[in-house]
Amino acid sequence: MAIDYHHLKNRVFAPVHQHYTERDTMLYALSLGLGNDPLAAAALPFVYEGMPGGLRALPTLAVVLGYPGFWAREPDTGIDWVRLLHGEQRVRWHRPLPADCAVVGKSRITHLTDKGADKGAILIAERRLETEAGEPLATMQQVTFLRGDGGYSQQGDGQPSDEPLPALAPTPQDRAPDFSDSQAIRPEAALLYRLMGDYNPLHADPEVARKAGFERPILHGLASYGLVAHALLRQCAGGDAARLKALDIRFAAPVYPGETLVTEIWRVPGQDGQYQLRARVAVRDKLVLSHGYAELA
């Protein structure tokens, strides 16, 4: 079954109402490895409610809230879900996340772009996260590469293909990064992170991972996204989660649990609070996240 442009673009997502608690906030931070070092004082405000000022939420917690589920696996989508990959994540925060809050996630599909039969298609889903009272918290755009679904617009009578989002800029190649941060990823990180609500078996089942072309289950893209965000906060914001206003990044290659992630960060010349970043896996010297852009208040 091939994908149908109009069917996907008009797909209706019911608003997702969710009340997350301080326990959820702590579990999210722990799934990213905060607390691996029990003596790391900078991590405690995100994993321990007894700190002065109370518990704080990592801003990237937003990406797992109000999530409509792994809907691409449903048969009516026509998507070859085993071959899809999370390609990019773009987020704008409108205010800091509370550590305990009732929220609503409102999702819609905004773009469907055919890259050709041999190149796949690109789907962009937008999710607005609000409090139950309607206060905006974050706006997220998830860019998904549908590797097995290209060429749909050339079949039969043809179907539309949207223009893609403006491309993210590559990181500087002419100078060393201004900051570098290294983080060890726990071997069970993907199994922990899937408890945030993304139960794609690609991250747990070795057989599914092999069918998708990977040697073993890979880490969720949004987990590596959270790792990079925390590295940015540590290196450039004194750990102040409220300062993160925007973070865009491209997932260039898979990350495996148990590896070490090295995040490299550049100041944007002449633009206070703006940064470019990327991340690589140390043991493979492999670029795994690229074209990163961030804004700090």
What is the set of active-site residues? 198, 203, 218, 221
Structure token digits, residue 292: 């990163």
Structure token digits, residue 290: 């690229």
Q: Are β-strands 121-131 and 16-20 bridged in parallel, bridged antiparallel, or unpaired? A: unpaired
Asked whether 179 and 264 are in contact (CB, 8 A), the reply is yes
